[in-house]
Structure 1
Amino acid sequence: MEYEISAIDPVIVRELLRADDAGRAPRFSIDEEGGAPLRCCLGKAAAGERIALVSYAPLRRWAAETGADPGPYDELGPIFIHAEPCGGPATTAWPAAHTAQRVLRAYTADGRIHGGRLLPEGADPEVALKEVFSEPEVALVHVRAVEYGCFQFAAHRAT
């Protein structure tokens, strides 16, 4: 089963830099040490780079595009993005910067959670995503950090 990884679209990044999904202004800062996980390009911030912390509703955004109704599964969480819109990731493959332990949370086309899977550190994400997408009900997978549960990026069936 083919899939594509998607970062936050640059158009949405520009919106979030004006007001986030909670209606608040972004919190800008300098990542002095570098390493903040950026959801706009799926890389990590360089030392001294200016970044923004915003609230983001990934399922709500996807539902608006697809007509799904996530109901109580809609959630809002913190993400880092570049302080200025960037060009996004260079590929739709699993990002090389994401080798840590992750959780794969699957959703059906109508926006309901359809299981989850732990992806141990160093495990092959290709195998795990193929297994999750082998279930025909799965339309979308959110990849999340284990420690904080933060949204990292989404995987969709390839079109």
Structure 2
Amino acid sequence: MTTYTARPIGPTALKELRDTDDAGRPAVPFTDDEGGAPLRCCLRRSEPGERIALVSYAPLRRWAGETGAEPGAYDEQGPVFVHADDCAGPATGAYPFAEGAHRTVRRYSAEGHILGGRLVEVKDTFEAAFADAFADPAVALVHVRAVEYGCFLYEVRRP
């Protein structure tokens, strides 16, 4: 069985986002009094008292910049939470943010075009959803997103 890796936002992108986000706005750090925000830098939920920022992030645009893809109208940006300062990154290889909510596994081609998706209802079905997605040779990467708000949670690339 293939094991897939949940990829956080990379260190170069994080450094840029902590200054100016992908919408051109300065990051505005704040203290998270309640905790529970899904952090895309370390793929865990925030703890009360941590300094975080809500920034606009364009995951497909950044991937396209690495690969030369041209996503055209499929390029989008949306809000993500990150630590306001450097963090240690993910502590585990598990699929984060899987508990208690529906997720979609959205498939993208090497050109950055959406090829479809799959609803994932139970944590144990992520391996099957990724295997199903990458069984199609046209799929280059997938985004895991929250169904409720459509928010980007993390990326998985072809193994």
Category of TM-score, reference length = shorter chain: over 0.9
Paired letter, 2:110:
A
Paired position in structure 1 for 2:57? 56
Task: Between 61-70 and 116-125, report the one with greater CA deviation.
Answer: 116-125
Paired letter, 2:68:
G
Q: Deviations over 1:90-143 (max 9, x none)?
A: 345423x43231011100001110001111144421111111111111001000
Alignment root-mean-square deviation, CA = 1.4
Count of residue pairs the alignment pairs up: 157
Structure 1 runs of 4+ aligned residues shifted over 4 Å read none
TM-score (norm 2): 0.93
> 2:22 & 2:117 partners in 1: Cα distance?
25
What SS does the corresponding residue of 1:14 show, helix, strand or coil? Answer: helix
Tell me, yes or no, if the aligned pair for 2:27 and 2:55 is still in contact at 8 Å.
Answer: yes
TM-score (norm 1): 0.93
Paired position in structure 2 for 1:10? 11
Runs of 5+ in structure 2 lacking a partner? none
> 1:74 & 1:111 partners in 2: Cα distance?
8
Percent sequence identity is 56
Tell me, yes or no, if the aligned pair for 2:56 and 2:80 is still in contact at 8 Å.
Answer: yes
Paired letter, 1:144:
R
Cα offset for 1:157?
1.1
What SS does the corresponding residue of 1:5 show, helix, strand or coil? Answer: coil
TM alignment of 1:38-117, pairs within 5 A: 38-95=39-96, 97-99=97-99, 100-117=101-118
